[in-house]
């Protein structure tokens, strides 16, 4: 099949062991990012199987209707960036393994790296040295402080375990079902959302983005946080009410933030509000970007392509399409 891979910024995939799974296919890899519909339609005109790297490119109806050869979209995890109903209508199968029970340890590791970087002011201390100065300020320890986990899922559980190792007191807030799971796991659950935001010294968001969670963190929630507190977001930016984090940081509650995700990505403007704040540590959405995590994820993604080629698609998220899929060549 003619396979196209989008948004492989560092041309990483062809260097991984899993890439051998595409032997025998005609593979095209694009290293830049393009969202323009006309440009994408031209690039993907002959594509039969499209590989997406998470949510980097939105695959919407105006594009899908211009891709007559597309038969399969193969990716991993959630798919809010794909118009699934349109795929079903056009006969395009969407395979997306949900990796149940397998957290992204890479994202959990980055989350903890951001916690330590922000609390100990590591980027600021490094910049001071590079400028020919010595220490800039006193950092803060995490031991004995309260670590808040907002959302009790796979990654949140791993981050909580890191908090245990560092001697922190873990406190959870989540949906009612998430609260029950947390209690069953022996975790303390806050009395209320307001109490949760006011008690945490470090508060980390770990939820999937869908309509009920969009803007779930409000300006009022952030205003409850301590002026010494740190908010960490390695999940999705729209979990926080638009503009609320920047305003809250300027108001001094919370006192710090560490973020890996943004409302519009990629961020190319060095004057982005979060990038200009001295009390914010920013990274360019690298939570899952490690060679080990990529090889794990794309083993699944490429297996899905071969399963389709063998006539037995797997991890199909739009099963109704199977009644009338586009014919294979």
Backbone angles phi, psi at 279, to 5 degrees: -105, 20
pLDDT digits (tens, 9 = 90+) for 308-325: 999 999 999 999 999 999
206 assigned to active site = no
Token digits for 145? 């402080």
Backbone angles phi, psi at 27, to 5 degrees: -110, 130
Does residue 22 register a pLDDT over 90?
A: yes
Mean per-residue pLDDT, 250-261: 98
What is the spatial distance between Cα 87 and Cα 19, in angstroms, rounded to a whole number? Answer: 26
What is the spatial distance between Cα 94 and Cα 115, in angstroms, rounded to a whole number? Answer: 36
Q: Angle formed by the axes of helices 291-309 and 105-119, to 10°?
A: 160
pTM above 0.75, yes or no: yes
Assign 178 a pLDDT band (cuts: 50, 70, 90): very high
In contact, 75 and 49? CB cutoff 8 Å: no
pLDDT digits (tens, 9 = 90+) for 193-206: 999 999 999 999 99
265 assigned to active site = yes
Is it true that the peptide bond before 104 is cis, omega within 30 degrees of 0?
no
What is the DSSP-derived secondary structure letter of residue 324? S
What is the spatial distance between Cα 132 and Cα 207, in angstroms, rounded to a whole number? Answer: 41
Does residue 130 register a pLDDT over 80?
A: yes
In the numeric block, the tokens 């908010």 are attached to 231
Give the pLDDT score at 54.
87
Range with the poorest average pLDDT among 11-25, 46-60, 100-114, 176-190 = 100-114
pLDDT digits (tens, 9 = 90+) for 63-75: 999 999 999 999 9
Assign 223 a pLDDT band (cuts: 50, 70, 90): very high
In contact, 224 and 253? CB cutoff 8 Å: yes
Q: Which residues touch 250 (CB under 8 Å, ≥6 apart)?
A: 277
What is the spatial distance between Cα 208 and Cα 216, in angstroms, rounded to a whole number? Answer: 11
183 assigned to active site = no
Q: Which of the following is catalytic: 46, 180, 265, 292?
A: 265
């Amino acid at each position: 099949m003619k396979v196209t891979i989008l948004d492989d910024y560092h041309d990483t995939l062809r260097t991984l062991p899993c890439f051998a799974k595409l032997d025998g296919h005609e593979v095209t890899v694009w290293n830049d990012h393009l969202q323009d519909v006309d440009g994408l339609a031209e690039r993907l005109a002959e594509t039969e199987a499209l590989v997406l790297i998470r949510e980097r490119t939105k695959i919407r109806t105006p594009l899908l209707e211009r891709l007559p050869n597309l038969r399969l979209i193969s990716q991993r995890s959630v798919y809010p960036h794909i118009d699934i109903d349109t795929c079903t209508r056009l006969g395009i199968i969407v395979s997306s393994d949900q990796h149940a029970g397998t957290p992204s340890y890479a994202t959990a590791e980055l989350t903890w790296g951001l916690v330590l970087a922000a609390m100990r002011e590591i980027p600021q201390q490094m910049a001071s040295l590079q400028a020919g100065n010595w220490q800039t300020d006193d950092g803060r320890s995490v031991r004995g402080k309260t670590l808040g986990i907002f959302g009790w899922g796979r990654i949140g559980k791993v981050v909580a375990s890191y908090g245990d190792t560092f001697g922190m007191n873990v406190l959870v807030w989540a949906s009612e079902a998430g609260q029950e799971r947390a209690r069953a796991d022996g975790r303390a659950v806050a009395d209320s959302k307001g109490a949760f935001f006011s008690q945490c010294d470090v508060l980390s968001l770990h939820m999937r983005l869908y309509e009920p969670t969009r803007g779930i963190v409000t300006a009022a929630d952030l205003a409850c946080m301590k002026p010494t507190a740190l908010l960490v977001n390695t999940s999705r930016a729209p979990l926080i009410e638009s503009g609320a984090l920047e305003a809250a940081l300027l108001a001094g509650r919370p006192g710090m933030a560490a973020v890996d995700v943004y409302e519009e990505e990629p961020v190319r403007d060095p004057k982005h509000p979060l990038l200009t704040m001295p009390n914010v540590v920013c990274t360019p959405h690298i939570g899952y970007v490690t060679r080990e995590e990529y090889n794990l994820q794309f083993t699944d993604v490429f297996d899905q392509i071969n399963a389709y080629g063998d006539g037995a698609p797997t991890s199909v998220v739009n099963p109704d399409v199977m009644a009338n899929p586009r014919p294979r060549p």
